[in-house]
Structures are given as C-alpha cells and as structure tokens.
Amino acid sequence: MQSPGDLEVESMSSSPYKTYTELSEAEQAALTPLPKPNFFNFLALVSAVEEINNSSELLPNITLGVHIYDPKNQPFLTFMSALGIFSGMATGIPNYRCKSSAILAAVIEGLPSELSIQLSKVFRIYHYPQLHRYLKKVHFKNVVGEEMFFDENGNLPTGYDIKNLVFLPNGTRNYNMIGHYNSHAPPGQDFIVHAKEIVWESSFAQTPPQSKCSTSCPPGSRKLTSREKPVCCYDCIPCPDGEISNQTDLDNCIKCPDDKWSNENRDACIPKVMDFLSFEESLGIALTSIPVSFTFITAVILGIFIRYRDTPIVRANNHDLSYLLLISLMLCFLCSLVFIGHPGDVTCFLRQSAFVIALSIALSSILAKTVTVVIAFQATKPGSKLRKWMGSRVSNSIVIFCSLVQTLICAVWLGIAPPFSYRNMHSETGTIIVECNEGSIVAFYCVLGFLGFLAGISFIVAFLARNLPDSFNEAKYITFSMLVFCSVWISFIPTYLSTKGKYMLAVEIFAIQASSAGLLGCIFIPKCYIILLKPERNTRKHLTKL
C-alpha cells in the first residue's frame, strides 16, 4: 500500500491490453514478430526502484511504484500505452485520469528511437520529464562502495575496470584486474594500469603488442600529429633550439629560461655561456700586448725628449706641449686595457670617459702646437700685432679650455645616464654577452662628436700652415697625423655599428690604438730620427735655414 507521497514510475515493458497470444489471427498477421523480452532491463529497473525505496538518502519520504507496459515494438500500441499511463484505464481517454492512489513521477522510455519519438509527442502535452529532476542532487555510495552522483551535465560518473582475459591450461578462463579508469579522479590518477600484472599471449612473449601505430617520442622531441592520420599516429620531431622535453610523448616542448639554453640532446636546460673579451683568449692577449708595447715606446720617446730638451729641435716645437702630448698618448694606450676583461659597473662607468678625456687632451695639445706655429710665423713679420700672443699663455689656454669642455660633457653624461654592466641574453644564440650599456647613446655620440670637432679644426689649421718655412715645418707632420687620425675614426663608426659583443670592443680598441699610434708616429718619429741618427741636423743654423 502506498503512502500519500507515493510516486509511480511507468515503464513501457508490459501492457494492460491484449497479449500477442490473445489477438485474433488477422491481428497477429498484421503485426511483425515480437522480439524476446529484455529481462535485463526489466530486472535493472526493478532493482533500482527497490534500492531507492530502501535508501533513506535518495528520495526520503517518497516511495516509488512501477507499472510496466510492453508495446510490442509497435508505434500504435506505444501511443495507446502512453494514453493508458495518463488515464489509468485499459482504454486510454485523453485528458481523463481515473487514478487516485499515486502521483505519476516520470516515464522511462523504451530503447528504440522510433518508440521514444511516439512517446515524446504525448509527454510534451502533459510536461512530464525524466527522473533527472529528482535525482540530479543525489550523492551516495552504492552497495559496493562506489560514489554515485550526477555532474553538472546530468551524467553519471564514468568508471571502468580494466581486466586481463587469461586462458588457463585446464581450458577455463580467468579475468585478472590490472587497472581502472575514473573520469572524475584527479589528474594522474584517472587512468592506472599495472603493467607488470598483464599476462600476454605466448606469441607476444618477447615484444608486447603496440596499441598505437607510432612509437613513443623520446625526451628531446615532441609529437607532431596530422589531420590526415588518427590521433594515435604521429611523428617525432626534435625540439628547436632553446626548448627541451624531459618526458616521453610530450605534445609541446618546454622553453628554457632566458639565462639557460637547451643542451645537445634537447632534454635539459643548461646555463648559457658567458661571453666577453677576456685577457686569456688570443684576441684579448693581442689587444693587451699592443697597447703595452706602444706605451713603452711612448715612454722611451718621452725620455728622449727630456734628455735632449735643450736641443734646438725640441725647443722649436714647444717642449712643454710635446711632454703633455706624449703623456696623454700614453694614457690613451693604457685606457684600451680597461675595455678588456669582465665588464663591471666601475669599469663601465670609467672606461669611455677616461678614454675621451685623455684623447681630448692629446688633440687639444696638437691644436695648441699648430696654433703656436702659425702665431710664431706671423709674429716674425714687421709690425705684427701677434707678438703679444707669443709664449705659453695661448697654448695653455687652448688645452685647458678644450679639455674642460670634454670633461663637462662627460660629467653630465655620468650624472644623468651613466654606463652600466649589462647581460645581453638575446643577441647571440645560447650565449650571454656581458657588455656595457652606454646609458645615453646621445651623450656617447656627443663626446665622440667633440673629438671629431677638435680633430677637424686641428687638421684645417695644420693644412693651411703646411707651406711655412722649414724652421716651422711641424705643421706638415701634424697635417699628415690628423689625416691618419680622421681616416681611422671615420671608418670606425660604420664598423662599430655593424658588430656586436666582444668584437665591437675590439673595433673600438683598435681605433684607439691606431689613431694614437698615428699621432705618435707622424709627429715624433721624424724628430727622434734627427735627434738620434742625424745630430748634425739638430742645430740652430740648420733649423733657421730657409
């Protein structure tokens, strides 16, 4: 007996109408052969209803009852059974209900789609669902301890046991549990297979059969699928530079961090190689030995000029400016050493400014020497007003002014945007270039531009004074030295901009050494030749000879 809260579940499996054997022969002939009853579905329905009624969690205070109808796989009988469900009478009457003991909860349709279509036409009129609206919030464990619930899509959790069929020697067969699949389990635990418990057929004793048409992609490679092939068929391609795969069958390679690079096998990220112009490599050794040698040569020439400072050729060329020029050239040679070695914040901060200030002193000294030659020649003319400018006052003023201007530019540069040590991780593949960032490129080109201005003025003045009498012929040597200087730095700019890393530093070091060596050789080597090898020409009579 059902309580007022009882519900009925109608299933289309047995009928209150005539059975097939009760029909007349004409009626039986009009019907197609009936299929055998699906007892498994019948038993499953009855078992489910009993389990719901016996549970205090599923549908509390509600008892389900079952009426089963079998339409014999005929659309007409299906329609008539649907009317019988709603009316409760052997002959269904639309919109009339004679039942009073229970409420119709839901209808479970038959398996064939054509029958379900017939039922849905009737059920839509009366707005009856399936059981889902009652059970969608149910969450319980069944008799074997499995979690039973409906997800957000209304589907039951999917779980499968994986079994291994084993044929025993006595002719029987056994199913061994070797794993399981649970779609709601956490990642990594949803699909578990115990490979060691699998028993293979004797023909597969040596090599287990493949379940896919492609072999696993080893570490260092990734899978490449094709639309024309099944998902299990793919090619293995190596990971590109800078990416790795450290597991088998990865769909995508893993990109290495910026400070690391992929190894040769593409299965591990290793630290990138630090690259800078070091003292130990052959290029660094060469660029170190050359400035040291020129520094020594410059020191020897300075010693010669000091030793022979009272001779006419040294006195005629303003020995104080010659000393200052030689010392500044020594500093230029030594400044190239600051560009070699591991760049640090201190060396980056000092190297460009120290070099440009030293070279500015050298160029301003050359300009002062050239102006002194011009003034000295013009002052010898009768009535010349330039006699009062004779002496060291003009030359010292030129050197101090030009050097202070360059120093001021460098001070502004270092105060606003100073150079700093920088690790360039993207210019070269697999390499970190340790270099100096110049801070402000505008300031860097300003100091180079001022050097070019001093060199240009010195070249123009020396070129205009190149035809002075022999006693003042130093202008010829200065003209040629400035021509070499300007040629070196003009070719330096495009070469510097087209290189990178330590080779950029090598180009700048070469420009410093070549331009400084050009000044040293063109101005002082001819004088040393006369002092040491032609002392008879180092006389006042010879120098004043027109």
- Helices 441-464 and 392-416 cross at an angle (nearest 10°) of 160
Please tell me which residue, 48 or 129, carries the higher pLDDT value.
48
| Antiparallel, parallel or unpaired: β 173-182 and 159-167 | antiparallel
So what's the pLDDT on residue 406?
92
Query: Which residues partner with 236 through β-bridges?
Result: 223
Rounded Cα distance between 360 and 453, Å, is 10
pLDDT score, position 210: 59
Q: Among the listed ranges 2-11, 35-44, 207-216, 396-405, which one has the minimum average pLDDT value?
A: 2-11
Query: Could you tell me what percent of the chain has a pLDDT over 70?
Result: 69
Tokens for 46? 């009855």
Q: How far is Cα of residue 373 from the mean position of the Cα atoms in its chain?
A: 62
CA dist 150 and 158 (Å) reads 10
Quote the CA–CA distance of 399 and 325 in Å, as a whole number.
10
Whole-angstrom distance, CA of residue 314 vs CA of residue 307: 10
| Other beta carbons within 10 Å of 46 | 13
Give the closest residue to 380 by CA, choosing from 371, 390, 370. Answer: 390
Burial of residue 340 (CB within 10 Å: 0-12, 13-18, 19+) is: buried
The pLDDT of residue 428 is above 90 = no
Closest among 57, 53, 52 to 2, alpha carbons compared: 53
| pLDDT tens sequence across 328-383 | 999 999 988 988 888 888 888 888 888 899 999 999 998 888 887 777 666 565 55
Please give the helix or strand (H or E) that residue 423 lies within, else none: strand 420-424
Q: Which of 171-175, 184-188, 289-293 has the lowest mean pLDDT?
A: 184-188
At residue 102 the predicted structure's pLDDT band, cuts being 50, 70 and 90, is low
Q: How confident is the model at residue 13 (pLDDT cuts 50, 70, 90)?
A: very low
Going through 98-220 in order, the beta strands assigned E by DSSP cover 103-108, 139-141, 147-149, 159-167, 173-182, 191-193
Grouping H, G, I as helix, E, B as strand and the rest as coil, residue 363 is helix
Is the pLDDT score of 293 beyond 90? yes
Averaged over 198-219, what is the pLDDT? 70
Are the C-beta atoms of 318 and 395 separated by less than 8 Å? Answer: yes
**In the 8-state DSSP scheme, what is residue 213?**
S
- pLDDT digits over 31-70, tens only? 444 444 566 667 777 777 787 788 777 777 777 777 777 7
pLDDT of amino acid 29: 45
User: Beta-carbon neighbour count of residue 411 at 10 Å?
Assistant: 11
Within 113-208, strands assigned E span: 139-141, 147-149, 159-167, 173-182, 191-193
∠ CA 435-290-278, nearest 5°, is: 30
Angle between helices 319-335 and 345-379 (to 10 degrees): 160
Residues in the chain: 546
65 vs 407, higher pLDDT: 407
> Residues with Cβ < 8 Å from 536, sequence gap 6 or more?
542
Q: What are phi and psi of 14, to 5 degrees?
A: -130, 160
Phi-psi region of 383 (alpha: psi -120 to 50; beta: other; left: phi over 0): left
Per-residue pLDDT at 545 exceeds 60: no
pLDDT one-digit tens code per residue, 254-272: 999 888 889 888 889 999 8
| Tokens encoding 426 | 């993207």
pLDDT above 80: residue 151: no
Q: Render pLDDT for 306-335 as a digit per residue (tens, 0 to 9).
A: 998 888 888 776 788 889 999 999 999 998
CA distance 158 to 185: 10
| Both tokens assigned to 396 | 């010292």
Kindly tell me if the per-residue pLDDT of 302 is higher than 90: yes
pLDDT band at 300 (very low <50, low <70, confident <90, very high): very high
Write down the pLDDT at residue 348.
87
Least confident of 121-130, 384-393, 502-511: 384-393
| Averaged pLDDT, 532-543 | 77
More confident: 193 or 115: 193
Q: What is the DSSP letter of 144?
A: T
Angle in degrees, 0-180, between the axes of helices 502-533 and 319-335, rounded to the nearest 10:
150
Instruction: Say what the pLDDT of residue 242 is.
Output: 87
Name the band, by pLDDT with cuts 50, 70 and 90, for residue 17: very low
User: Rounded to an integer, what distance in angstroms lies between the CA atom of residue 422 and that of residue 348?
Assistant: 10
**pLDDT for position 198:** 83
Beta partners for 107? 10
Please give the pLDDT value at position 4. Answer: 37
pLDDT in tens, 227-258: 777 667 788 889 998 899 988 888 889 999 88
Q: How far is CA 138 from the centre of its chain?
A: 48
The two structure tokens encoding residue 297 = 């040569």
Strand partners, 238: 221
Question: What single-letter DSSP state applies at residue 429?
Answer: T
Confidence of residue 19 (pLDDT cuts 50, 70, 90): very low
Please give the domain boundaries of the chain with CATH numbers for all domains: 7-149 (3.40.50.2300), 159-204 (no CATH), 221-271 (no CATH), 282-543 (1.20.1070.10)
Confidence of residue 20 (pLDDT cuts 50, 70, 90): very low
The strand pairing partners of 530, in sequence order, are none
Residue scoring higher pLDDT (92 or 405): 405
Name the average pLDDT for the chain. 77
CA distance 471 to 389: 19
The answer, yes or no, to whether residue 398 has pLDDT greater than 80, is yes
> Hey, how many other C-beta atoms are within 10 angstroms of the C-beta on 36?
5
d(CA 397, CA 297) in angstroms, rounded, equals: 29
Q: What is the pLDDT of residues 69-100, one digit of tens each?
A: 776 667 677 777 777 777 766 666 666 667 65
Q: Which residues does residue 432 pair with via DSSP β-bridges, in sequence order? A: 274
Sequence-separated contacts (24+) of 132-135 with Cβ below 8 Å: 134/59, 134/105, 134/106, 135/58, 135/59
- The DSSP bridge pattern shows strands 139-141 and 147-149 to be antiparallel
Task: Report residue 21's pLDDT band, with 50, 70 and 90 as the boundaries.
Answer: very low
